[in-house]
Chains A and B, each alone.
Chain A
Amino acid sequence: MDVLYFAWVRERIGLPRETVEAGAATVRDLVAQLSAREERYQAAFADITALRVAVDQELADFDTPLIGAREVAFFPPMTGG
């Protein structure tokens, strides 16, 4: 599964995308799995209320199941326009 990071999440983690072994049942589980890795992940995911998530390029939430998901992206609230 590809995991993508944008804006300050990308800067804090230090990379734009990576491949993560599938296994997390929900987005929340994936966050826990990543946060347990290293301090930079923990820092990026410290306050998930400040984050938004997309699963397969559709806006999702932290309880969204990841069964069959190919791409998950984490980013701050969007500021278009």
Chain B
Amino acid sequence: MQEAPFDFGAEANEFAARQTGMGAVVTFAGIVRDLGGALDHMQIEHYPGMTEKALRSIAEDAHARWDLGGSLIIHRHGNLRPDDMIMMVAAASRHRKDAFEAAMFLMDYLKSRAPFWKKETTKGGADWVAARAEDEDALEIWQR
């Protein structure tokens, strides 16, 4: 958890360098969309204390489910501008399938099970981003 920007390339490289015997690293970065030029900024609120616990628990679930050498979640809070990076995940495994699936699992769970809320400010005003039914549905494939 951090308010400051992060260097996606440097974080990905450092993460990969920390691994031993891993044949695959998958990374994902989430970026603030500009809403066709309408977005002024996005505010990300979180629940200090619970956020860290929720992220740790999601990562532990991923490690229990796949053969991972390591995983990384970085998530920002505070005010972000269009095209800023919001967050990244990385997963390392001996084989690509586990790394891809684990990265997707981390993303799916932290979208709707970690206590973050986004508020978008445009010229028209400010509004909380509503959760999408598709994000909730995405968890179902992991519950089979």
Contacts and interface: CB of A to CB of B under 8 A. Distances in A.
The main secondary structure of chain B at its interface with chain A is mixed
Interface stretch (B4-12, B17-25, B90-98, B112-120): B112-120
A58 B50 CA distance: 7
B132 to A, nearest CB: 8
A81 to B, nearest CB: 4
A66 interface: no
Interface in B40-83: 45, 47, 49-50, 53-54, 75
28 contacts: A4-B47, A6-B117, A7-B45, A7-B117, A7-B128, A8-B128, A54-B47, A57-B49, A75-B115, A76-B117, A76-B128, A77-B130, A77-B136, A78-B114, A78-B131, A79-B111, A79-B116, A79-B117, A79-B128, A79-B130, A79-B131, A80-B87, A80-B112, A80-B115, A80-B116, A81-B86, A81-B87, A81-B111
